[in-house]
Structure 1
C-alpha cells in the first residue's frame, strides 16, 4: 500500500481553533495514552499539557518547537483513532505519495515558484510555526494545512496549466488531478492534507 496522501476537511475551518476547543478532551486522552503506553508518547508534549494553561492561550504558551508535534499528534492520533473528529473530502482520492512526487517535475516546468512551493507542502508537510516544509521526527506522518487563499490560488494555477478533465489526462497526472478534485469538493475553509 505504501505512503498515501489523503485530503480532509479542515476541522472547524481552522485547525488551531479546533485544537483549542478540543484541548481538555485531548489532554484527558493523551494522559490516558501515557498511562497505558508510556513508551508511545512525546514527553515534551506530555509535560506541556500537564501544566495549568488557558486553552485559549495554548499557541502563545507552547514552545514553538513543539507546535508541529502537538498538531501532528492531534491530527494523526487524536482525530484518527482517538475521540477527535476529521472527515475526508468527499470524492477525494487516497493515492501513493509517488504520484505527487512524480507530478512535481511537470509542475516545475509549467508553473511559477509559488505553485511549486505549495506543492512541496503537500509532499513534505507544512509547518504551523512558519510557512516552510516540516521538520519533525516522524518521517512517515506529515501534514499540511492550506489556507483558503492558498487553495484557490492552487486551483486556479493548476486548472490553467493542466487539463485533467479527461480520464486519460487524469491518469497521466493523478496527483494534480487529485488536488484539483479535493479543492473543488471541499466544504471547509482551507484544506487539511496528511501523508501517512
Structure 2
C-alpha cells in the first residue's frame, strides 16, 4: 500500500534513499568533520560525500544494466561545469556551474543533478585548491541539482522560462547565505 502511494506521488524508493543520504547523512558527515575531526580531515570527508553520492546510482545499477550513454551524459555535464567554473574564475560570484547542475537535475533527475553538482565541486577544487570548504561546496552544488530534479523532472513545476529563472535566481543565494552563516 505504501509503495503504491509513493509511486503515485512520483517518488520511488531510490529517490527516497537519495533524499535520506543527501538531507541527513551528508550534513551529519560534514558536521562530524567539523566537530569531531576539528575541520582538518576535509579530504576524508570529501571522499565520504563522493561515496554517498555514488550510492544511489549503485542501487540503480544493481537492478538493471547501466547504460553507457547515461554515464557519459553525467560525466560530460560535470566536465562542462568544471570547465565553466575554471573559465570564469576571475568574475566573483559568477558560477555557471549552478546553471549546468540545474540543467542536469531538470533533464536527468534528482540523483543525477546531485551527482553532477558534487562531482563538479570536487573536481574543480583541484584547480582552485582543496580545503575545508570543499565538502560544503560539493553539498551545496549537489543539493541545487537535487532540488531542481525533484521539482522539475516529474513535472511538479512547469518548465517555463519564468519559473526556471526564479528557481535559478533564489536557490543559489539561499545556499550562499547558508554557507556564509556556517562559516562564521
Structure 1 or 2, whichever has the larger Rg, is: 1
Q: Structure 1 length normalisation: TM-score?
A: 0.29
Higher-helix-fraction structure: 2
Whose relative contact order is higher, 1 or 2, with alpha carbons under 8 Å and at least 6 apart?
Answer: 1
Q: Given the two structures, how large is their TM-score scaled by the length of structure 2?
A: 0.30
